[in-house]
């Protein structure tokens, strides 16, 4: 993988991790377009590095909220911070369970399955359209909402279903305030990303030896910087009810992917 390809993939990851257009789906499409010839282990390692970069950008943007969550978690006082910390944990459970029980089945969805990605992007488009039409409220995330949002996050492990799109749409459809929905969506994924990285490192699934450090560093920086931009932008867009634009985009890309898959 060259430096330019790494930067392109990094920018795609950084933007699409926060924008509701499916980062995993776009990475799969980009790898096909760019003719990625990496062996599966190398491709997985590079993808994990990019996810790590966007997780760091989330931490930078929400550093105050994360500090409050950690304080609430370790103070063991039934205050708003502690309850919010528990809601984050509750929202993680469905993805953790699905990820552990069906890891091999989930990995089978990746690897250039363009038809699947296209169909799931159309599903994402529908979700975003429904959420954009929902009325805005001032409700906070409840424990029951956290469970349902967590289930939507687990479903979004399939490439082509936007994680942020699914979780934010679910939150908005449940009546959660749009700004709170966006922040909760971005915060709930950080522990999962670090948990996944830790699991892969301990399990020996990541291979850094065969990767060149200049391309992987370039991709990391590109993903981190574009992630900072996209995270701030997305919060503003959700607040202004602009999800329909992303719905149209997902519909166009999804339809194009389906057409490409059927013609090749």
Nearest by Cα to 141 from 180, 173, 179: 180
What pLDDT is stored for residue 149 in this prediction?
Answer: 95
As a whole number, the mean pLDDT across the chain is 84
Under DSSP, is residue 176 helix (H, G, I), strand (E, B) or coil?
strand
Looking at the 3D structure of the chain, how many domains does it have?
A: 1
Q: In a 10 Å sphere around its CB, with 0-12 CB exposed, 13-18 middle and 19+ buried, how is residue 138 labelled?
A: exposed
Length of the chain: 264
Q: What's the pLDDT at 52?
A: 87
Decide which of 130 and 213 is more confident: 130
Q: DSSP 3-state assignment of 94?
A: helix
Q: Which residues contact 124 (CB under 8 A, 6 or more apart)?
A: 20, 21, 22, 160, 161, 162, 165, 166, 247, 250, 254
pLDDT at residue 162 tops 80: yes
- Distance, in Å, from the CA atom of 132 to the CA atom of 42, rounded to the nearest integer, reads 38
177-190: average pLDDT: 88
Give 191's contacts (C-beta < 8 A, 6+ positions apart). 88, 92
Q: Is the whole-model pTM more than 0.85?
A: no
Residue span of the structural domain in which 121 resides: 3-263
Q: What is the mean pLDDT of residues 248-263?
A: 92
pLDDT per position as a tens digit, 88-115: 999 999 988 988 888 777 777 776 678 8
């Amino acid at each position: 993988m060259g430096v330019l390809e790494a930067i392109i993939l990094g920018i795609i990851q950084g933007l699409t991790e926060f924008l509701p257009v499916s980062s995993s789906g776009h990475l799969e499409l980009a790898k096909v377009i760019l003719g990625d010839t990496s062996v599966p282990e190398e491709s997985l390692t590079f993808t994990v590095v990019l996810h790590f970069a966007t997780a760091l950008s989330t931490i930078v943007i929400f550093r105050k909220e994360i500090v409050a969550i950690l304080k609430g978690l370790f103070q063991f006082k039934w205050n708003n911070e502690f309850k919010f910390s528990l809601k984050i944990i509750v929202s993680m459970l469905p993805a953790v369970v699905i990820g552990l029980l069906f890891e091999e089945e989930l990995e089978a969805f990746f690897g250039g399955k363009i038809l699947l990605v296209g169909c799931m992007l159309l599903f994402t488009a529908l979700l975003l359209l429904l959420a954009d039409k929902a009325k805005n409220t001032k409700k906070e995330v409840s424990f029951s909402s956290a469970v349902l949002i967590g289930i939507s996050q687990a479903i979004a492990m399939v490439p082509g279903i936007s994680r942020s799109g699914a979780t934010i749409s679910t939150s908005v459809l449940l009546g959660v305030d749009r700004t709170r929905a966006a922040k909760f969506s971005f915060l709930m994924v950080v522990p999962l990303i670090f948990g996944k990285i830790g699991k892969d490192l301990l399990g020996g699934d990541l291979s850094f030896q065969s990767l060149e450090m200049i391309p992987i560093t370039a991709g990391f920086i590109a993903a981190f910087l574009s992630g900072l931009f996209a995270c701030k932008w997305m919060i503003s867009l959700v607040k202004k009810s602009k999800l329909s634009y992303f719905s149209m985009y997902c519909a166009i890309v999804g339809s194009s992917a389906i057409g490409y898959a059927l013609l090749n």
